Amino acid sequence: MKKSITTILLLVLFILIRRFAPPSDHVLHAQSAVLTGIVLLSAYLLALLLKNVKLPKLTGYMILGVLIGPVGLNFLDHSVLDSLRFLEDLALAFIALTAGGELKYERFRQRAKTVLSLLTGQMAVVFTGLFFTLFFFASHIPFLSDLPEDIIIGLSILFAGTALSTSPATTIGIITEFKSKGKMTDIVLAVTVLKSIMVVLLFPLIMAWAKIYLIAGTSINYELLKTVGVQIVGSIVIGIAIGYIIITYLKYVQIERSLFLLGVSIVIIEVSALVHVEILLTSIIAGIVVENFSRKGEDLIENIEKSSLPLYIIFFSFAGAGLHLDTIQKALGLTALLVILRMLFLYLGNITGAVLAKEDGDIKKLSWLGFVGQAGIALGLATIIENTFPGAVGTTFKTILISSVVINELMGPVFFKYILIKTRETTEGI
């Protein structure tokens, strides 16, 4: 009861600030700062309340974001979200550093066959299965049924490509929250991180392929592919350099390590904006370097975890606020179909990979549930697609994709928690 009352009082406090503060840019920044504190406290309290009904804290953070976001009470409106976008990028860089830092080669080598088989099976089956289903049954699917064949092929490529993405932030968040360890945890984490890297690398090619069908007279733009290639190489090079900077600091400096890693995340964001490299890929590579080319991997994870809670709350609360629940009504049928098809082909692809790796039991039957979550990458791809294909096609595609991501991201943490408890890789939350 005390937690509920405190949460309500915090939200009432912000209502009063919004109502009586005079409108100005200075006030907006002040309100944004106050709201950040209120979000941190309210989301944490709500997560503790939801823990009583066995829901992960991440779900509580997202629900709080939905409640106070644009589709809820609109405390966290688009202007505030835009002014706090830097915090979201900071959290993403921090989480990606953790993801890379958890990908230890020695541990990966023991499960390499399984990880690579599941990764290959999922990507191949999800992409081909979704593409051919949408293409061959387009005449029975709203939004696609009245479109020319070339447009259907292009959109099927994009839908299938975006379905490949998963959420490393969700995976890391659940692992951190429930302190899970074991074979299932290692495999889900490794596949998720590698798949995120593969999606970042492959999506420019998928976009170029889809453009051939969606934009008349378009051919493969080799100059664009060259630019993307340079960006990817740049991300890897900068990630390696930052990794060695982190190693040097952790080795020779014994103070304020968490603060230093926070500063490193800020540097990654600024460098990424300056030279147009990927925040996610750069951060993951930096984490991988620290973990695998030094003895400071445990120090990296330990110091990140000391200051990670506020960033997780910010990231997932903002993610919840950014979930366009109102868009689901506009494309409910196709949204539901995409969610069901993605889960079906994810399940089939996972079984295919498990058979190739000669895995049985929980890895074959349950591990696919660890890959349902879908967040930042897919939303970023949706924006890229809308900008690339202006007009009704791009807007409608983004609406449908975001709607499916909303559902997948809300289900993902719950499913992953379920398999961790089922496989006894955590005792937390039981």
**Same domain for 365 and 258?**
yes
**Same domain for 138 and 64?**
no
The band of 236, judged by pLDDT with boundaries at 50, 70 and 90, is very high
Task: Name the most confidently modeled range: 35-39, 193-197, 273-277, 326-330.
Answer: 193-197
| pLDDT surpassing 80 at residue 59 | no
Half-sphere exposure of 205 (CA within 13 A, CB side): 7
Q: Whole-angstrom Cα distance, residue 66 to residue 409?
A: 12
Q: Do residues 206 and 157 lie in contact, with contact meaning Cβ atoms separated by under 8 Å?
A: yes
**Same domain for 78 and 94?**
no
Q: Whole-angstrom Cα distance, residue 404 to residue 339?
A: 6
Please report the pLDDT score of residue 340 as a whole number: 93
Residue 306 belongs to a domain = yes
Other beta carbons within 10 Å of 348: 16
**Same domain for 72 and 183?**
no
Residue 251 belongs to a domain = yes
Burial letters for 171-181: b for 16+ Cβ neighbours within 10 Å, e otherwise? Answer: bbbbbbbbebe
**Same domain for 214 and 249?**
yes
Q: What is the pLDDT of residues 66-89, one digit of tens each?
A: 777 777 777 776 676 776 777 778
Residue 379 belongs to a domain = yes
Residue 429 belongs to a domain = no
Q: Whole-angstrom Cα distance, residue 162 to residue 415?
A: 20
Angle at 395 between CA 391 and CA 399, to 5 degrees: 165
More reliable by pLDDT, 33 or 58? 58
Residue 327's domain spans which residues?
A: 89-422
| Residue after which a domain boundary falls, among 83, 105, 124 | 83
Other beta carbons within 10 Å of 191: 28
Q: Do residues 324 and 69 lie in contact, with contact meaning Cβ atoms separated by under 8 Å?
A: no
**Same domain for 98 and 62?**
no
Please report the pLDDT score of residue 379 as a whole number: 62
Reading the block at residue 219, the tokens are 């051919």
**Same domain for 79 and 184?**
no
Q: Please report, rounded to a whole number, the percentage of residues in the chain having pLDDT higher than 90.
A: 21
The residue whose two tokens read 């907006």 is 28
Residue 256 belongs to a domain = yes
**Same domain for 414 and 277?**
yes
Q: What is the pLDDT of residues 255-309, one digit of tens each?
A: 888 888 888 888 998 888 888 888 888 999 999 999 998 888 888 888 877 777 7
**Same domain for 344 and 248?**
yes
Q: What is the pLDDT of residues 210-222, one digit of tens each?
A: 888 877 666 666 7
The band of 335, judged by pLDDT with boundaries at 50, 70 and 90, is confident
Amino acid at 374: Q
Please report the pLDDT score of residue 359 as a whole number: 87
**Same domain for 22 and 105?**
no
Please report the pLDDT score of residue 111 as a whole number: 87
Q: Do residues 225 and 271 lie in contact, with contact meaning Cβ atoms separated by under 8 Å?
A: no
Please report the pLDDT score of residue 27 as a whole number: 47
Please report the pLDDT score of residue 232 as a whole number: 87
Residue 427 belongs to a domain = no
Report the 3 state secondary structure along 193-243: HHHHHHHHHHHHHHHHHHHHHHCCCCCCCHHHHHHHHHHHHHHHHHHHHHH
Q: Do residues 59 and 410 lie in contact, with contact meaning Cβ atoms separated by under 8 Å?
A: yes
**Same domain for 149 and 254?**
yes
Please report the pLDDT score of residue 383 as a whole number: 64
Q: What is the pLDDT of residues 352-405, one digit of tens each?
A: 999 999 988 889 999 999 999 876 566 656 666 666 666 666 667 777 777 787
Contacts of 275 (CB under 8 A, 6+ apart): 234, 238
**Same domain for 70 and 110?**
no
Q: Do residues 31 and 80 lie in contact, with contact meaning Cβ atoms separated by under 8 Å?
A: yes
> Rounded to the nearest 10 degrees, what angle do helices 392-422 and 149-163 cross at?
30
| Residue after which a domain boundary falls, among 40, 62, 83 | 83
CA distance to 200, 231, 348, 420, per residue, from 118 (Å): 18, 28, 10, 18
CATH of the domain at 129: 1.20.1530.20
Pick from 127, 159, 162, 111: which is nearest to 367 by CA? 111
| Residue after which a domain boundary falls, among 83, 116, 144 | 83
Pick from 117, 155, 112, 178: which is nearest to 357 by CA? 117
The residue whose two tokens read 């089939």 is 348
Mean pLDDT of all residues in 51-73: 75
Residue 428 belongs to a domain = no
Count the domains in the chain.
Answer: 2
Q: What is the pLDDT of residues 87-96, one digit of tens each?
A: 778 888 888 8
Q: Do residues 227 and 275 lie in contact, with contact meaning Cβ atoms separated by under 8 Å?
A: no
The residue whose two tokens read 């190693």 is 247
Mean pLDDT of all residues in 1-19: 61
